[in-house]
Structure 1
């Protein structure tokens, strides 16, 4: 399988090349040159597979440059019950008889769904770099959970350094402590004076400097990395099979969304033949995606217009993975996507309403809703009172919006994004009690902090990276 860019560049190489690449040379995102599909009978053959074997079946068509035995080993080393604290890896739990289900994705090392892909990235990065006798310096941005998931996945990986940007003062105390308490020689935490989108723009600006990127071997673990999207598609298949429905029966999924990577993985599963009906995008007050799927108009929000909310991992005004979706909507036209993104970069509104492309959007199965702080509090309290289950505020956004789009007789699977312990102040406000947390994180907020605060300036970031790497030589 070879890969191309969403903006038109061809011949990006095979999986291992795009794994280490980050952004494509033209600024686009890597996409496979075609999407393989499963027939109904092939889907049935996947139904009883254990998680690691299912992951192999789903991912293998996209990863053809790693020997079969090695890829199987990497996936079995990744998806182990002792890592994800469940023999099912991603259990599906009904909320009473409501027709709503929680897809539990937050039982891994950092207590967030990002672990599902990031643990695989840790394994496959190490494998590919050892095969090539190379080193990689990962530059990433996090609105909350990507950072800790990436850092936990890259611990004790001597061929990888991690430079992780986060918005200064905009994550929960638990999220901050998870990252900044780490004192490892290959982990560098950088708090940026700005919002998440500023962090994301800095990552893209560094990637756009081809000379710097090549000299300092800059790679990516954000959801712009194709390997993350691919790994996330697996749990949609697993959730579908866990419901044990008749062959061909549809399932709807509701996904709390900020950067669009998680829900795009569901769209990838659907394009591969999984009987997914609706893909419901749940936004918080930062409702760029809700606006698009409701009206056809896509307009990014500048940093000063990104609200600080009680579901902070979704405080995003520019959804990076949305470009992959538009690439498919545009019939895989890199020229069309490049034109749209040039307009977005100029701050213009890209409006597909009333165009043939809008017909493709409506046919894709996406719908969207939004939630507010008051909605989150009511939903957390209701789920706790009705079902005896505490959920985090992002998952509450998903449950609220998922309820709105439920269809009679069709299961609505709401993706859990994090354990409530990561947002205990909001959960306490909503439910009147603190969520339990794993023993290993009991006093994490009291541990020392290690990291720096930098201005929202690409030259300051480059200087910091250069200085840290030169000290390690």
Structure 2
């Protein structure tokens, strides 16, 4: 399988090449030159597979530059009950006698769905770097969960350093403690004055400096990394098969989304032949995605327009992986993507509402909705009272919007994105009690914190990276 850029550059190489690449040289995102699809009979043959075996079946067509035995070994080491505290890895739970289901994605080391992909990245980074005798310096941005998931996955990886940017004071107390309590020689936490989009822009600025990127072996671990999207597609297959539906019957999925990586993985699964009907894109008050799926206008927000909310991991005004979705909607037309992104660069918006591409968007099965702080509190409270299930505020966004789009006779699978312990303050406001946390995280907020505060300045960031690398 060869990879190309969403903005038209061809021949990016194979899976191992784009794994280490981050952004493509033309500023686009890596995509496979084609998306293999399972025939109905092939799809049925995947039922009943253990998670690591299912992951191999779904991912291998995109990773043909790693020998089968090595890929299977890495997947078995990644998707193990000792890592995810469950034999099912991603258990599916029906909520009462409703048509709603909760896909549990938060049983990993950092208690967030990002672990599902990030633990694989830790394995495959180490493998590829060893084979190539290379080192990688990961530069990433986080709005809350990516940072800790990446850092937990890269602990002890001798060939990988992690430089993780986060918006100063914009994460929950638990999220901050989880990241900043890590004191390892290959982990560097950096807080930036601003919002997540400012952090993301700094990462993109560094990546756009080809000379600096090459000299310092800069790579990416954010959801712009194709390996993360690919690994996340697996749990859509796992959830679908766990529903035990007749062959070919549709299921819907509701996905809390800020940067669009999680829901794009579902769209990838759908393009691979999984019978997904609706993919519900759930936003909080930062509703750039809701606006697009309602009107056809994608209008990015300036930093000052990004609200600080009680589902902070979705406080994002520009959805990086949205480019991959538009690329597929446009028929893999890199020239069109470049033109649209030029419009976004000039006016901060692109309008598809009067174009044939809007028909393709509407046919894709993606729909959007938004939630507010009051909605989240009410949804957390209702889930607790009605189903005996405590959920975090991001999952509440997904559950609320998923309920709005639920269809009679069609299961609606709502993706759990984090354990409620990561957002104690909001959960406590909703149900008047503190959610339980795993024993290994007791007292984490009182631990020493290790991070560096930087201004929102790419020169300062580059200087910091160079200094730490010696």
CA distance in 2: counterparts of 1:293 and 1:87, whole angstroms: 37
Question: Which residue of the partner structure matches residue 392 of structure 1?
Answer: 392
Q: Which residue of 2 aligns with 1:315?
A: 315
Q: Distance in 2 between matches of 1:387 and 1:264?
A: 29
Give 2:78's aligned residue.
78
Distance 1:163 1:332 in 2: 32
Rounded Cα–Cα distance in structure 2 between residues aligned with 1:343 and 1:180: 38
1:3-42 aligned within 5 A: 3-42=3-42
CA contact 1:300–1:347 (8 Å) conserved in 2: no
Following superposition, the deviation at residue 346 of structure 1 comes to 1.9
Per the alignment, residue 334 of structure 1 pairs with 334
Note the C-alpha offset of 1:226. 0.1
Q: Give the unaligned 5+ runs of structure 1.
A: none
Residue pair 1:253, 1:415 contacting (<8 A) in 2 also: yes
Measured in 2, the distance between the counterparts of 1:348 and 1:31 equals 24
CA distance in 2, matches of 1:300, 1:241: 36
Question: 1: CA distance between counterparts of 2:60 and 2:348?
Answer: 39
Separation (CA, whole Å) in 2 of partners of 1:45 and 1:36:
16
Q: Do 1:223 and 1:321's aligned partners in 2 also have CA atoms closer than 8 Å?
A: yes
- Counterpart CA distance in 2 for 1:390 and 1:12 is 44
Offset from partner CA, 1:406-428 (integer Å, 9 cap, x none): 00000000000000000000000
In structure 1, what is the Cα distance between the partners aligned to 2:187 and 2:301?
A: 30
Q: What's the counterpart of residue 465 of structure 1? A: 465
State the alpha-carbon separation in 2 of the partners of residues 151 and 83 from structure 1.
15
Normalising by structure 1, we get a TM-score of: 0.99
Secondary structure, aligned partner of 2:166? strand
Counterpart for residue 51 of structure 1: 51
SS in 2 for 1:342: helix
Q: Secondary structure at the match of 2:71?
A: helix
> What CA distance in whole angstroms lies between the structure 2 residues aligned with 1:189 and 1:354?
44
The match for 1:357 is 357
SS of the aligned residue for 1:268 comes to: helix
User: How far apart are the structure 2 equivalents of 1:206 and 1:342?
Assistant: 19
Residue by residue over 1:203-242, the C-alpha shift from the partner in whole angstroms, topping out at 9 and shown as x without a partner, is: 0000000010000000000000000000000000000000
Q: Distance in 2 between matches of 1:312 and 1:293?
A: 21
Secondary structure of the residue aligned to 2:347 is coil
Residue of structure 1 in register with 2:169 after alignment: 169
C-alpha deviation, 1:354, in angstroms: 2.0
* CA displacement 1:57-100 (0-9 Å, x = unmatched): 00000000000110000000000001000000000001101110
Tell me, what secondary structure is at the counterpart of 1:279?
Answer: strand
Q: 2: distance between equivalents of 1:249 and 1:82? A: 33
Q: Which residue matches 2:288?
A: 288
CA distance in 2, matches of 1:218, 1:408: 48
Tell me the distance in 2 between the aligned counterparts of 1:347 and 1:146: 29
| Superposed counterparts of 1:214-363, under 5 Å | 214-363=214-363
1:147-181 alpha-carbon deviations (Å, 9 max, x no partner): 00000000000000000000000000000000000
Across the aligned residues of Structure 1 and Structure 2, the Cα RMSD in angstroms comes to 0.4
Identify the residue that residue 110 of structure 2 maps to in structure 1. Answer: 110
Give me the whole-angstrom Cα distance separating, in 1, the residues matched to 2:240 and 2:196.
Answer: 32
CA distance in 1, matches of 2:11, 2:133: 23
- Report if aligned partners of 1:165, 1:190 keep a CA contact under 8 Å in 2: yes
Deviation at 1:348, TM superposition (A): 3.4
Q: Secondary structure, in 3 states, of the residue corresponding to 1:46?
A: coil
Cα offset, 1:347, TM superposition: 3.2
Could you tell me how far apart the structure 2 residues matched to 1:412 and 1:121 are?
Answer: 29
1:418-455 C-alpha deviation (Å, 9 max, x unpaired): 00000000000001111000000010000000010000
Tell me if 1:452 matches 2:452.
yes
Cα distance in 1 for residues equivalent to 2:342 and 2:403: 37
Aligned to 1:376: 376
CA contact (8 A) 1:56 1:71 kept: yes
Asked whether the 8 Å contact 2:301–2:348 carries over to 1, the reply is: no
- Quick one: distance in 2 between partners of 1:156 and 1:382? 42
Shift of 1:342: 1.3
Residue 336 of structure 1, CA deviation: 0.3
1:47–1:241 contact (8 Å) kept in structure 2 = yes
**Contact 2:279 / 2:365 at 8 angstroms: preserved in 1?**
yes
Aligned length: 470
Using the alignment, how far apart are the partners of 1:236 and 1:103 within structure 2? Answer: 9
